[in-house]
A = this chain, B = another copy of it.
Amino acid sequence: MAPLISAAEVAKHNNKGDCWVILNGDVYDLTNFLPEHPAGANIILKYAGKDGSKAFNPIHPSDIIQKLLPAKVRVGKVDPATLKAEAAEKPSEEELQRQKAESSKPPLSQMLNMWDFEAVAKQVLKKEAWAYYSSGADDEITLRENHAAFGRIWLKPRILIDVAKIDMSTTILGQKSSIPLYISATALGRLGHPDGECNLTRAAHTHDIIQMIPTLASCTFDEIRGAARNGQHQFFQLYVNKDRKITEAVVRKAEAAGCKGLFITVDAPQLGRREKDMRMKFDDDSAIQKETGDRVDRNQGAARAISSFIDPALKWDDIKWFKSITKMPIVLKGVQCAEDAVLAYQYGCQGVVLSNHGGRQLDWSRSGIEILPEVMAALDAVGARDKLEVYVDGGVRRATDIFKAVALGAKAVGIGRPLLYAMSSYGQAGVERALDLLKDEMEMTMRLMGTPTIKDITRSHVITDNLNKHISVVEDFSMNSVYDRLSTSANPKL
């Protein structure tokens, strides 16, 4: 039985050479761990001798210490009687405004589309959560291009086809799905909602769709898998650890727990520069880390804090090893050109996700939807169209987006942020309504396109002549600034 330690005793261990921290009632001696903390020592030192639970919990799964640190770091339990109620910090103007937005947010029933959820989330999320979720790489061109690219595909509806009954069900890696859509893996779900990724698990069950469990979830794998109901299928997303033993253990555990597919992230040998996220640390005491000097600190922001274990040396030959340790179908997440999709097929993968990681990795990489036609053509050329499932994620906001992806050959699309925003704003019910809305839109779209089932949706239903056209406009400010805009009689001065 762990000894009971007074808060006063803990408070003595408050420096770099002797650093105890209280986390959820337990006392840990993290002195030796300081130099190893992926997010740096400073953020731990901020709580040396104190209770760090409030900063720790939204970022870390509850089992992370048990999994990663030796048992002996646990010194004991803090004596609750000795813990003083922390003087509540006076919230900032910004935080007060956020709380007001939170308390006056529109009723769930008023959410009519994915943009609605994003607009609410922008108001109610804590700023570091918003920064982490919403940010993209560099100038966020690819972040926005992901949705914009769908806007260069137009639809060609057909008429006078019986569309009384619409069936949008399909299969993904052989598993049934009520709509060609799965919930993509995203990190740090508890930043947005106390129940974190489990909200998504439960909503996936309600809607009979498949959730991909993230390596970097802030709920534990067991919590997420445990939230699934009997027979509910899930996939597992993997960041490959430099230590292949850990990787192997994680993969075997996922397979043993019944996961139906292994999605290996291949677009993140290093997590991207997301400047909105990086800026957070400067104006927020609660930031995940403090900078340590004048030169560039390459571990800035939440993204980098959680990713130092990822192996940048991962290569094609490693796929063979994965096939030796698991029977789960293997899908490469983050393929960005036709050549690599063909390689994935040749290395024996069952699928690829055309993805740029939600615009969070390399700015100016193209959208998955733009790459899709090239990939399908290349697979056709090697006779592999039906042997490799192709998914697309990034930028999906409307059922017309899903329709376009399916028409171009995708088996399904992955959706991430929109459901995070729904979850952060309204919890599980929010996610369910978001999916309701997408299904409502999908039924409408399939009906108006004259395609009552998924297999009726073909290449001929979409027009992609402009898909590869990217432009940049240099505005003629001289002309535009002296031009006297037209007005109407009702608005003499616009």
A residues apposed to B, CB below 8 Å = 105-106, 108-113, 115-116, 118-120, 122-123, 130, 134, 138-141, 144-145, 147-149, 151-164, 266-270, 272-273, 275-276, 278-279, 282-283, 291, 293-298, 311-316, 318-319, 332, 334-337, 339-340, 343, 356, 361-366, 397-398, 400, 404, 429, 432-433, 436-437, 440-441, 444-445, 447-449, 463, 465-466, 468-474, 476-479, 481-492, 494
| A335 with B469, Cβ < 8 A, contacts A111-B489, A484-B130 known | no
Shortest Cβ gap from A121 to chain B (Å):
9
Q: Please, which residues of chain B bring their CB within 8 A of the CB of A311?
A: 164
A-B contacts, 22 of them at CB < 8 A, read A113-B138, A119-B489, A122-B490, A141-B474, A148-B473, A151-B476, A156-B337, A158-B340, A159-B336, A160-B266, A160-B318, A162-B312, A162-B314, A164-B313, A267-B448, A269-B447, A275-B486, A296-B433, A362-B445, A362-B448, A477-B486, A478-B488
The listed residue (B404, B466, B490) touching A120 by CB distance below 8 A is B490
Question: Which chain B residue shows the least CB distance to A465?
Answer: B468
Complex contact B115–A436 (CB within 8 A): no
Contacts A160-B266, A364-B155, A444-B273; A119 near B476 (Cβ below 8 A): no
Q: Is A313 a contact of B162 with CB atoms below 8 Å?
A: yes
Q: What is the distance, in angstroms, from A238's C-beta to the closest C-beta of chain B? A: 14
Contacts of A466 in B (CB 8 A): 468-471
- Using known A-B contacts A140-B486, A366-B154, A471-B473, determine if residue A161 contacts B315 with beta carbons closer than 8 Å: yes
Note all chain B residues with C-beta closer than 8 A to A154: 364-366, 470
Q: How far is the CA of A375 from the CA of B398 in the complex (A)?
A: 29
Instruction: Give min CB distance, A271 to chain B, whole Å.
Output: 9
Q: How far is the CA of A400 from the CA of B145 in the complex (A)?
A: 16
Minimum Cβ distance to chain B for residue A323 (Å): 14
**A107 nearest CB across to chain B (Å):** 8
Residues of B within 8 A of A158 (CB): 336-337, 339-340
* Chief secondary structure at chain A's binding surface: loop
Name the B residues within 8 Å of A297 (CB-CB): 109
Interchain CA distance A51-B246 in the complex, whole Å: 73
Give Cα A156–Cα B366 distance, bound, in whole angstroms. 7
Residue of B nearest to A150 (CB): B364
On chain B, the residues within 8 Å of A448 by CB distance are 267-270, 272, 361-362, 365
**How many copies of this chain?**
4
Say whether, besides A155-B365, A364-B155, A486-B276, A295 and B471 are in contact (CB < 8 Å): no
Beta-carbon nearest neighbor of A151 in chain B: B472
Which of A120, A155, A298 is most buried by chain B, counting CB atoms within 10 A of its CB?
Answer: A155
What separation, in Å, do the CA atoms of A343 and B484 have in the docked complex? 37
With both chains docked as a complex, state the minimum distance between the C-beta of A137 and any C-beta of chain B, in angstroms: 8
Known: A138-B400, A486-B139. A278 touches B112 (CB 8 A): yes
- Rounded to whole angstroms, the CA-CA distance of A400 and B471 in the bound complex is 17
**Interchain CB contact (< 8 A) of A335 among B109, B159, B296, B484:** B159
**Assembled-state Cα–Cα distance A391/B302 (Å):** 37
Chain B's nearest CB lies how many Å from the CB of A429? 7
Q: How far is the CA of A318 from the CA of B161 in the complex (A)?
A: 10
CA of A486 to CA of B136, assembled, Å:
10
Closest to A448 in B: B362
CA distance A110 to B158 in the complex (A): 43
Assess whether A488 is in contact with B444, with CB atoms less than 8 Å apart: no
Query: Does the CB pair A336–B269 fall under 8 Å?
Result: no
The CA of A447 and the CA of B270, in the complex, are separated in Å by 7
Q: State the CA gap A191–B11 with chains docked (Å).
A: 53
A466–B472 CA distance with the chains assembled, in angstroms: 9
Contact partners of A429 in chain B: CB under 8 A: 294
* Interfacial chain B residues near A112, Cβ < 8 Å: 273, 275, 278-279, 489
Known contacts A119-B482, A158-B336, A362-B448; 19 additional CB pairs below 8 A are A109-B297, A110-B282, A112-B273, A112-B278, A112-B279, A113-B478, A138-B398, A138-B441, A139-B477, A139-B486, A141-B476, A157-B337, A160-B340, A273-B440, A279-B487, A283-B492, A295-B436, A364-B404, A478-B486
